[in-house]
Amino acid sequence: MKVLFAVSECVPFIKSGGLADVAGSLPKELKNLGTDVRIMMPKYGTIPDQFKKDMKKKAEFTVEVGWRNQYCGIEEYTYQNMIYYFIDNEQYFKRDRLYGYDDDGERFAYFNQAVLESLAQLSFYPDIIHCHDWHTGMIPFLLKRRYQSRDEYAQMKTIFTIHNLQFQGIMPKEALKDLFNLDDRYFHIDELEFYGNINFMKGALIAADKITTVSPTYMSEIQTDYYGEKLNGLLTARRADLIGILNGIDEEIYNPAYDANLIQPYHSSLIQDKQTNKVHIQQRFALDVKDIPLITMITRLTKQKGLELVRAVFHEIMREDIQMIVLGTGDPEFEHFFREMEYRYGNKFKAYVGFDEGLAHQLYAGADLFLMPSKFEPCGLGQLIALKYGTLPIVRETGGLNDTVQSFNEYTWDGNGFSFSNFNAHDMLYTIRRALHFYYERSVWTHLTETAMLMNYSWSQSAVKYFELYRNLVSRSEMYVLK
C-alpha cells in the first residue's frame, strides 16, 4: 500500500505547531505497520542547511497557477529510512516565516497543483494521498475534478485530516480562475463557494473519500454551530465518512528517560530526579530555588489557547504562592501582556517570547503543572507531552483535552490531571487552586504524577486506526475494479 502525505510542515525540518509533530511521527508508525509512506512538503528557506545540503534533485518542470507558469523542482531526501520530497520554488517558499503572507492563497494553490503534477514526474502513484489542513485542501478537489480523467490517477483515493478547522484558506471568488483556471461552475454551494468567497478546506470536505480529525470529542464538536466554523452543516452531512482518531506523541523525541535536552533524565520510578530539572529551570530563569508549585504554559499565543482567561485572572493567580513561566510566540497583544506581567511580577513570573524546542523540553520536565485552558482544542499535544513528563495538566474539557485528561477524583483517586468545563476565568482559577492544594498532599501528588507518566499516549493504537482506514479504502476500490 502506497501513501503520500501532503503536508505544509514536518519535524525535524520545520515546525510551527502540532501539525509538524504529527507529520513527523505518524508516518514512521505506519511504515512499521507495512505501509510505503512518503512525505511531500514545501522546501522552505528556513529548513536547516544540514538537511538541505543532502537533498537530491529528482525533477524540474513548470506548474500552472492560473495564468502563471511557475518553476517547480522536486528534491528528495531520505531521513531515518523515510523518503521526503521537497517542492522547491524560491519565490513562494524562501521566506522568513511559513505562513501569514498576503499571497498565502497563491503559495498553497501552487503547492497543491505541484503535488499532483509531481506524481507523474516521479512516476510515483500512491493508492492514497493523505492531506492535512487547508494548505492541502485543494488536492482532493483537483484530483476528483481534473486529474481522475488520467489513467494513473483514476483509482487514487484521498483522506483529509482536520488538525484545525479555524484556518480554512478563504480566498476571493476571483481566485477560482486566477489560481486554478476553474470556471464559474465551481462557484456553487455544492462546490467551492463559501459565503461569497471560495474555501480551500471546503474543497477537501466535499471531495475527500474520508475525513478524519484528531480526537473523538472534536469530531462531535465540529458538527455544532459553536465549534463548526460555518462548515458544521457540511461536516454533519458527511458524518458517515468522518472519523476522530486521537494523535499520539513520538516517544523517541518526548521521553524523559532519554531526553538529551534535560539536565537530568528521569523515569516514573525515580520521579525525585524530576526535581533536579525543576531546580535547573528555576536557576535558568533567575527564580528562587524553592519547593513551591511551578506552573508552565508552552503554546502559540492566540485566543484559541484560552489566554483571555489567563489574562482576566492573572493578578489573582499571582497572589498564590507559586512560580510561573510562559514560553510562546504569537499575537502581539499576548506577547506584550506577558512581557508586562514579567516586569511587574518578575520574582515569580517569567515570559520567554520565542520558539525554542530545547527549552520546551526542559520546561515540560521542570514544571509541576501545565496550564492549557483552550477555547477549542482539536487534539493538543502539549498536555500529552506534559503527562509523559509527569507534569500534571490543568485543562478545559474540550476536544482532545477532554479525551486525554481526566480530572482527579479525590474520593476514588482516579484521574491524571485537573479540568473544568465552562470557558470561564473563575472556573479556571478555582481549578488551578484545587491543583495547588493537592501539590502539598504528597501521597496524592506522587500517585498522580506516576499515573500520568505511565499512561500510553504513543502512536501505537492510533496508527493502527489509520492503517485500517487506509486498508478499507484501498480494498474497497479493488473490489470495485473486480466488478
Q: Give least dist CB 355 to ligand ADP, A.
A: 4
Nearer to ligand ADP, 298 or 317 (CB): 298
What residues contact residue 44 under an 8 Å CB cut-off, 6+ apart?
A: 13, 14, 93, 94, 95, 98
Q: How far apart are the C-alpha atoms of 195 and 175, rounded to whole Å?
A: 14
Q: Give least dist CB 205 to ligand ADP, A.
A: 20
Give the CB-nearest residue to ligand ADP: 18
Q: Give least dist CB 432 to ligand ADP, A.
A: 19
Taking the CA atoms of residue 42, residue 48, residue 50 and residue 55 in that order, the dihedral angle to the nearest 10 degrees is: 10
Nearer to ligand ADP, 21 or 104 (CB): 21
Q: How far apart are the first and last CA of the chain?
A: 21
Written as one string, the DSSP assignment of 126-152 is -SEEEEESGGGTHHHHHHHHTGGGSGG
What residues contact residue 276 under an 8 Å CB cut-off, 6+ apart?
A: 263, 264, 266
**In angstroms, how far apart are the furthest CA atoms of the chain?**
73
Nearer to ligand ADP, 138 or 360 (CB): 360
Nearer to ligand ADP, 21 or 106 (CB): 21
Residue count (the chain): 483
Q: Is the bond leading into 12 cis (omega within 30 degrees of zero)?
A: yes
Q: Give least dist CB 358 to ligand ADP, A.
A: 9
C-alpha grid cell, residue 336: 506584550
In this structure, how many other beta carbons lie within 10 angstroms of the beta carbon of residue 272?
Answer: 9
Q: Which residues are annotated as a binding site?
A: 15
Element (H, E) at 162: strand 157-162
Nearer to ligand ADP, 109 or 381 (CB): 381
Spatial strand order of the sheet with 128-132 comes to 56-65, 68-79, 82-88, 36-42, 2-6, 128-132, 157-162, 210-213, 242-244
Q: Give least dist CB 100 to ligand ADP, A.
A: 14
Q: How far apart are the C-alpha atoms of 327 and 354, rounded to whole Å?
A: 7
Q: Are 306 and 423 in contact (CB under 8 A)?
A: yes
Nearer to ligand ADP, 73 or 382 (CB): 382
Q: How far apart are the C-alpha atoms of 405 and 385, rounded to whole Å?
A: 12
Beta bridge partner(s), residue 128? 3, 157
Q: Which residues are annotated as a binding site for ADP-alpha-D-glucose?
A: 15
Backbone angles phi, psi at 285, to 5 degrees: -100, 10
Q: Give least dist CB 382 to ligand ADP, A.
A: 4
Binding site for ligand ADP (CB under 6 A): 17-19, 21, 298-300, 327-329, 355-357, 360, 379-382, 385
Nearer to ligand ADP, 275 or 329 (CB): 329
SS3 75: strand
C-alpha grid cell, residue 30: 505506519
What residues contact residue 67 under an 8 Å CB cut-off, 6+ apart?
A: 178, 181
Q: Give least dist CB 260 to ligand ADP, A.
A: 16
Q: Give least dist CB 199 to ligand ADP, A.
A: 20
Nearer to ligand ADP, 14 or 385 (CB): 385
Element (H, E) at 282: helix 274-284
Q: Give least dist CB 346 to ligand ADP, A.
A: 20
Nearer to ligand ADP, 303 or 465 (CB): 303
